[in-house]
Amino acid sequence: MNTMRTVGVALAIATAGGVLAACTGSEQGMPGMNHATPPASTSQPPAAAGQHNNADVAFAQDMIPHHSQAIDMSRLAAERAQSDQVKNLARQIEAAQGPEIETLNGWLRSWGAPTPRPGMPMNHGTMPSMEHENMPGMNHGNMPGMMTADDMQKLQQVNGPEFDRMFLTMMIKHHEGAVGMAQTEPAQGQFPAAKQMAQRIISSQQAEINTIHQMLNHG
């Protein structure tokens, strides 16, 4: 009799354990019933889409056409310049500013901001959200250091020592404009990488201005 009671109790315990296990497994398989800490989301926004402000956007949008024009001027030197120093400087400018344009465009895309067409500055005062190709008649003179269409045409029409002197003289003005534009970014910008680029532009282009002055004085 005692043996039968013992067997009955054991079967009851086993049955209860099976039901509890089944319930636990069912709960784990049901949506919303897993109370464990959910895994962190892997869809993080791009780093460049983070801490930035209007000054960062304006810096990128303005520096792209400014750099683009400097590259256009520098590419003329390969065939028109006489001085090897001028040709080397032109290659140095293109090598430095080309990758910066790519970086600036990448930031703007990640920020959801319009990217200017090369050589065409954005008008931040009146149309901050439009692509520049929809803005006819923009005046390059509104951006510090930018050459006018007449300036570029004159540069394309000269060769040899005349080109060298005109190129160097224009590039001083162009670099001074870029330095002035870049100085605003560390003071007003928020995006760390943009502020770092601005500091590089200030130091590198000021150094090139000093070099150009020496080239002109010894030319």
A 10 A CB-CB count for 34 gives: 11
pTM over 0.85: no
Is residue 77 assigned to a domain? yes
Flag whether pLDDT at 187 surpasses 80: yes
Polymer length in residues for the chain:
219
Is residue 65 assigned to a domain? yes
C-alpha separations of 150 from 74, 154, 157, 165, 219 in Å: 17, 6, 11, 17, 25
Question: Whole domain around residue 152: which residue ranges?
Answer: 48-217
Looking at 23-32, 154-163, 183-192, which range is the least confident one?
Answer: 23-32
Nearest CA among 197, 150, 152, 151 for reference residue 178? 197
Is residue 31 assigned to a domain? no
Greater pLDDT, 108 or 1: 108
Is residue 61 assigned to a domain? yes
Is residue 12 assigned to a domain? no
Number of domains in the chain: 1
pLDDT tens-digit series, residues 27-66: 444 444 444 444 443 444 455 566 999 999 999 999 999 9
CATH number at residue 147: 1.20.1260.10
**pLDDT bucket at 9, cuts 50 / 70 / 90:** very low
Flag whether pLDDT at 6 surpasses 70: no
pLDDT tens-digit series, residues 71-90: 999 999 999 999 999 999 99
Check if the beta carbon of residue 177 is closer than 8 Å to that of residue 208: no
Is residue 57 assigned to a domain? yes
For the record, the structure tokens of 183 come out as 């100085």
pLDDT tens-digit series, residues 121-147: 555 543 333 333 333 333 344 689 999
